[in-house]
Structure 1
Amino acid sequence: MMMLKRQILQKPLILRSFRREISTSTPDSTNQVPPPPSPPSPLTSESCTKFAPLKESAKTLRHLRFTVPYDYHEAHKIQTEFVSAFLDFKKMASKIDRSNRELASKGLESNDYEKKIVQAILENKPPPTVLSFEFKPIFTAGQREKKRLSGEDIAKLKNTGYDFVQTDRGGEITFHNPGQLVVYPIIDLRDFKNLTVKCFVSLIEDTVIKMLSKHNIHAKKTENTGVWIDENTKISSIGLQVRRAVTFHGVSLNVRNEIPKIEDAGFVFCGLPGKTQTTMKELGTDITISQAAREFVRELATNLGVEKVETIELDSLALHTDDPDRVQ
């Protein structure tokens, strides 16, 4: 199973209609007006400095861009497989470290051949990976909603024409639909200097803000998580989960999608009464999801201190595993 996970991360299996592209992140040369500074939310109030990869494997950001609207449940299986691969590798690395410490406590050590084998294994760590999707219509609920939503509530949400799923991410109720970019960054925070969970959330917000500024859309942080155009208008939602320092789930950005009338079901976006959402298209910028995904990932790489981005475009990814929902 570990070999399967490694193969998926180093060369995804059964890619249909895929194209690979490698680029380097360079400073943008256009004269864009920088966005005004905004106060950090309580979640991201930690002082965050510049980040940089600490390991060779973290110096390339791999971007898997799914080019057709995807089923949320299938995307979740793909994400789960990648996260499991990261966690399996970390578990193996921990066992190796523990074994070396046990040998040292007895005054012993591995021979040169064994050391080379172990080093080769550890250098084959999966690179930081970003999955980007455009989902078919669905409402998703974060952990805060698990005990609050009744069967009647879920039925009301489904009556709007959207599917519904309970997730293990942070946050409350949000939506996904065609025209919205969804990005899942699967990153081991410990592979980067100074990158804590709070700083990573802040980094994601900064990535969206900088990307939007290049289209002369001035967005900001507020006391609420996510990215906002003003105090009452949201354009990007963030709901992350972290396990053993590995991030999953992620961020959505309204690019050119319709905003569903969630209030018809008796709910409010992200549990915030009086707030609404907008899109890049409504604000005068009409770009494709593919363009938005590439711009986001390039900006994310820059913020992480990563110079190399490898992009693979595909319309599907088949996983050969009997346990697609396993994350340990």
Structure 2
Amino acid sequence: MVSVQNKKVFLQDLGTKDYKDTWDYQEEIFAKVVEQKKQKRENPDVETDNYFLFVEHPHVYTLGKSGDVSNLLLSEKQLADKGATFYKINRGGDITYHGPGQIVGYPILDLENFFTDIHKYLRLLEETIILVLADYGLKGVRSEGETGVWLDVGTPFARKICAMGVRASRWVTMHGFALNVNSDLGYFDNIIPCGIRGKGVTSLHVELGREVDENEVREKILKHFQNLFEAEMV
């Protein structure tokens, strides 16, 4: 008996939400999808759900499980003075920053509904952002050995515009990407972003020289994500 593939993705815009509260919510959805997968083993007609969460976080630094805490250049007091928080979390990657003006996307997908290839999953997330940047006349590229989306790789001016870090277990994904749109890039000065020295960060705002409509960017992300994953957003 062939099991059912469900390509519907529930879209939720969480607005501005605390990082820890959002992480807890992701874990809740993740656990639900894993439970559905267990039921599906008994009954192939059971559908497993997929989600796509948009969120904007208050100022926060997060460190992935393979990261080095020394890449955070602030003491606890300095963090508090900047109104920022810090969490060690269970995604891949090193340290990054989230904050106002940044679009964060957390796809929680059962990849068995799409394809079972984590490498392909990351490449398609990157491609989603590369296509969004192209809509604004920017040439986003990958940097070999480093996740995320960059500009001017291979030059002294290489800079990251979108960070990525995911977790996958039982082919269910968590965490995702963070695209700098109208972000205050000064907050990146307090870390060695992703543990990579000597490369800068940028935003759509800086590259285009103007404030960018974040709702418009979200719409473009969804359009390209939907096409690349052959998904149906609901």
Other-structure match for 1:125: 48
Which whole-Å CA distance do the structure 2 matches of 1:178 and 1:88 have between them?
Answer: 34
Q: Is structure 2 residue 107 aligned with structure 1 residue 185?
A: yes
Residue 37 of structure 2 aligns with an amino acid whose one-letter code is: K
Please give the secondary structure, in 1, of the residue aligned with 2:223: helix
List runs of 5+ in structure 2 lacking aligned partners.
Answer: none
List runs of 5+ in structure 1 lacking aligned partners.
Answer: 1-53, 97-117, 311-328
1:248 aligned residue (156, 174, 184): 174
Other-structure match for 2:136: 215
CA apart distance, 1:151: 10
Q: In the TM superposition, what whole-angstrom CA distance separates every residue of 1:10-64 from its partner, at most 9, and x where no partner exists? A: xxxxxxxxxxxxxxxxxxxxxxxxxxxxxxxxxxxxxxxxxxxx84522x22211
2:23 aligned residue (64, 76, 80): 76
RMSD (Å) for aligned C-alpha atoms: 2.3
2:65 aligned residue (139, 143, 147): 143
Other-structure match for 1:26: none
Other-structure match for 2:122: 201
CA apart distance, 1:154: 5.2
Other-structure match for 2:185: 259
Query: Aligned in 2, Cα 1:234/1:309: closer, same or farther, shift over 3 Å?
Result: same
Write the mapping of 1:40-79 to structure 2, written as runs, cut at 5 A.
Answer: 55-58=4-7, 60-66=8-14, 68-79=15-26
CA apart distance, 1:292: 1.8
Residue 220 of structure 1 aligns with an amino acid whose one-letter code is: V
> With CA pairs under 8 Å and 6+ residues apart, which has the higher RCO, 1 or 2?
1
Query: Aligned in 2, Cα 1:217/1:84: closer, same or farther, shift over 3 Å?
Result: same
Which whole-Å CA distance do the structure 2 matches of 1:300 and 1:238 have between them?
Answer: 15
Other-structure match for 1:237: 163
Q: In the TM superposition, what whole-angstrom CA distance separates every residue of 1:84-135 from its partner, at most 9, and x where no partner exists? A: 11101112223x1xxxxxxxxxxxxxxxxxxxxx56xx34432x21001011
2:105 touches 2:178 (CA, 8 Å); kept in 1? yes
- Structure whose alpha-carbon radius of gyration is higher: 1
1:233 touches 1:276 (CA, 8 Å); kept in 2? yes
Which whole-Å CA distance do the structure 2 matches of 1:214 and 1:150 have between them?
Answer: 33
Number of residue pairs the alignment of both structures matches: 225
Other-structure match for 2:92: 170
CA apart distance, 1:153: 5.9
CA apart distance, 1:261: 4.1
